């Protein structure tokens, strides 16, 4: 017997949402001090419950200031930042050099519609020259990551004249209406039901989550069975993707995160990414790497896709670009970028000149201080520390990472891999209380993810590992997983 709309929908929405009362209770119970509490209650009084903040922590800390890889809340509590605002603050908090470059531009002229300015043109040059691939590149500006993704989708459809965008289950591409069509994330179900998904020309395939292979295989013995499934979809006449007899494809682009971010910092095998690119070439569609979260040196290469030696046609980038100001871009093949006319896409704060001035300084510091190589080196050190924790703690099923893009998956039993979801959420709260900010995620709510500012010191990594060791140990005691 199927439950009717009236009986089901309101009840389901209630389960997916949170009320001001329930959030206030959390603040009463978990707020980190009197000033935190006062501001959180004010937030709940005047700001919509639709923000992300309360979904990240039982009671989010109210930050006052930061320096490097440390942040401080309004009650003066110090935190090691293993979050970096979802990788925005790559060069650390309150970076004086970047802030001075931004201020210098603000003092000259902060913004004028979308008129070209020197800082914008210079950052476009730096980005274009940074993109892998032996072809000419150009840049298109936007403000948010979601908007950059939308530009990539529009461009791909415009350039190819085809509708379908291929992506992975578990990819995150933003929460604007069009980007939401590509994003698979539980809280967003609320916005795509009972209304059908926003964009019906999106086809999703499983991400190569090898620790829990969706096809029940083992990597590398599987010989990339999953990638072959996509190829098979093209060979069949019974999918939307292709008319094999007429040799006509219906796909505009594959738009993927090479390493899924919001799903839990998931690493794809590099040969899989290579095969995705080969299939894109074979069936003549655009390959887009969404590096909004893991580009700009995060993984120990400037662009994450470089690990696979693949040159994408387009890259979407945002977060770390200006170390704190909103700025995003699509970098891509010149012929694609120049295929449309003036004002094909626009928004008022596009290519904000002060943010671009910050971005130019970011590139200068990356070059001068070897930031990307540093991320690779410190990331290897951090991963080694996590692997040592895995050797000690039976609740760790997997520790993986590339550069300073790392995660740990928690299980109740290493054999059955039963996800330790409640335990992970318990740790997120305990970590904040112990002075570590990090992201919790995972397909089954059972991963902790680490993305500190790339300027984090090794001593700070050691300190964070010590706190993690303690919190994981306490969790194992509390839940009987020792």
Ligand X SMILES: Cc1ncc(COP(=O)(O)O)c(C=O)c1O
Site for ligand X in 250-289 (CB under 6 A): 257, 261-262
Which stretch in 10-18, 171-179, 192-200, 209-217 sits in contact with ligand X by CB under 6 A?
171-179
Mapping DSSP onto H, E and C, the string for the chain reads CCCCHHHHHHHHHHHHCCCHHHHHHHHHHHCCCHHHHHHHHHHHHHCCCCCCHHHHCCCCCCEEEEEECEEEECCCCEEEECCHHHHCCCCCECCHHHHHHHHHHHHHCCCECECCCHHHHHHHHHHHHHCCCCCCEEEEEECCHHHHHHHHHHHHHHHHCCCEEEEECCCCCCCCHHHHCCCCCHHHHHHHCCCCCCCCCEEEECCCCHHHCCCCCCCCCCCCHHHHHHHHHHHCCCCCCEECCCCEECEEEEEECCCECCCCCECCCHHHHHHHHHHHHHCCCEEEEECCCCCCCCCCCCCHHHHHCCCCCEEEECHHHHECECCEEEEEEHHHHCCCCCCCCCCCCCCCHHHHHHHHHHHHHHHHHCHHHHHHHHHHHHHHHHHHHHHHCCCEEEEEEECCEEEEEEEEECCCCEECHHHHHHHHHHHHHCCEECEEECCCCCEEEECCCCCCCHHHHHHHHHHHHHHHHHHHHHHCCC
Contacting residue, 61, 92, 146, 324, with ligand X by CB under 6 A: 146
275 vs 293, beta carbon nearer ligand X: 293
- In the complex, which residue's CB is closest to ligand X? 145
Verify binding: residue 320, ligand X, rule CB under 6 A.
no
Which stretch in 7-15, 54-62, 138-146, 247-255 sits in contact with ligand X by CB under 6 A?
138-146
74 vs 288, beta carbon nearer ligand X: 288
Verify binding: residue 173, ligand X, rule CB under 6 A.
yes
Q: What is the pattern of x (binds ligand X, CB under 6 A) and - over residues 334-373?
A: ----------------------------------------
Which stretch in 37-45, 49-57, 167-175, 380-388 sits in contact with ligand X by CB under 6 A?
167-175
Contacting residue, 86, 285, 352, 382, with ligand X by CB under 6 A: 86
User: Cα(first)–Cα(last) distance of the chain, in Å?
Assistant: 43
Closest CB 175 distance from ligand X, rounded Å: 7
Verify binding: residue 81, ligand X, rule CB under 6 A.
no
Verify binding: residue 426, ligand X, rule CB under 6 A.
no
CA distance 136 to 133: 8
Verify binding: residue 318, ligand X, rule CB under 6 A.
yes
Contacting residue, 73, 290, 306, 313, with ligand X by CB under 6 A: 290
Verify binding: residue 293, ligand X, rule CB under 6 A.
yes
Closest CB 238 distance from ligand X, rounded Å: 31
Size of the site for ligand X (CB under 6 A): 15
324 vs 385, beta carbon nearer ligand X: 324
Verify binding: residue 405, ligand X, rule CB under 6 A.
no
Verify binding: residue 322, ligand X, rule CB under 6 A.
no
Which stretch in 57-65, 143-151, 234-242, 353-361 sits in contact with ligand X by CB under 6 A?
143-151
Verify binding: residue 93, ligand X, rule CB under 6 A.
no
Contacting residue, 144, 320, 395, 441, with ligand X by CB under 6 A: 144
276 vs 465, beta carbon nearer ligand X: 276
Sequence-distant (≥ 6) Cβ neighbours of residue 345 within 8 angstroms? 140, 142, 150, 151, 154
Verify binding: residue 305, ligand X, rule CB under 6 A.
no
Site for ligand X in 225-254 (CB under 6 A): none
375 vs 475, beta carbon nearer ligand X: 375
Binding site for ligand X (CB under 6 A): 86, 144-146, 149, 172-174, 257, 261-262, 290, 292-293, 318
């Amino acid at each position: 017997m199927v439950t009717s709309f009236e009986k089901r929908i309101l009840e389901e929405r209630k389960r997916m949402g949170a009320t001001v009362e329930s959030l206030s209770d959390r603040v009463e119970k978990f707020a980190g001090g009197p000033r935190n509490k006062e501001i959180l209650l004010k937030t709940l009084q005047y700001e919509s419950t639709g923000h992300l903040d309360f979904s990240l922590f039982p009671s989010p800390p109210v930050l006052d200031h930061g320096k490097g890889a440390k942040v401080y809340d309004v009650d003066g509590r110090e935190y090691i930042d293993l979050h970096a605002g979802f990788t925005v603050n790559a060069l650390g908090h309150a970076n004086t050099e970047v802030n001075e470059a931004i201020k210098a531009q603000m003092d000259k002229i902060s913004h004028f519609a979308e008129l070209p300015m020197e800082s914008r043109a210079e950052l476009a040059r730096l980005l274009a020259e940074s993109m892998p691939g032996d072809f000419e590149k150009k840049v298109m500006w936007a403000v948010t990551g979601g908007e950059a993704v939308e530009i990539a989708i529009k461009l791909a459809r415009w350039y190819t004249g085809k509708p379908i965008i291929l992506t992975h289950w578990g990819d995150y591409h933003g929460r604007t209406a069009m980007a939401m069509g590509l994003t698979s994330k539980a809280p967003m179900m609320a916005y795509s039901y009972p209304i059908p998904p926003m964009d019906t020309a999106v086809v999703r395939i499983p991400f190569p989550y090898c620790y829990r292979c969706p096809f029940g295989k083992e990597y590398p013995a599987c010989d990339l069975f999953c990638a072959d499934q996509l190829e098979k979809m093209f060979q069949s006449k019974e999918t939307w993707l292709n008319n094999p007899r007429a040799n006509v494809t219906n796909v505009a682009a594959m738009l993927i995160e090479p390493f899924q971010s919001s799903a839990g910092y998931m690493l794809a095998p590099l040969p899989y990414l290579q095969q995705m690119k080969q299939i894109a070439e074979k069936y003549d569609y655009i390959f887009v790497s969404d590096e909004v979260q893991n580009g700009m040196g995060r993984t120990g290469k400037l662009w994450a896709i470089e690990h696979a030696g693949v040159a994408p046609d387009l890259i979407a980038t945002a977060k770390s670009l200006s170390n704190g100001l909103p700025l995003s871009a699509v970098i891509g093949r010149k012929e694609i970028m120049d295929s449309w006319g003036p004002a094909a896409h626009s928004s008022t704060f596009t290519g904000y000149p002060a943010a671009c001035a910050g971005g130019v300084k970011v590139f200068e510091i990356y070059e001068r201080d070897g930031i990307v190589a540093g991320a690779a080196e410190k990331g290897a050190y951090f991963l080694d520390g996590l692997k040592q924790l895995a050797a000690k703690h039976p609740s760790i099923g997997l520790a993986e990472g590339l550069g300073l893009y790392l995660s740990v998956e928690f299980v109740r039993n290493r054999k059955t891999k039963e996800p330790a979801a409640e335990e992970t959420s318990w740790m997120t709260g305990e970590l904040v209380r112990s002075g570590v900010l990090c992201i919790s995620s995972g397909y089954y709510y059972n991963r902790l993810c680490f993305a500190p500012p790339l300027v984090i010191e090794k001593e700070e990594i050691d300190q964070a590992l010590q706190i993690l060791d303690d919190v994981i140990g306490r969790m194992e005691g509390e839940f009987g997983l020792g």
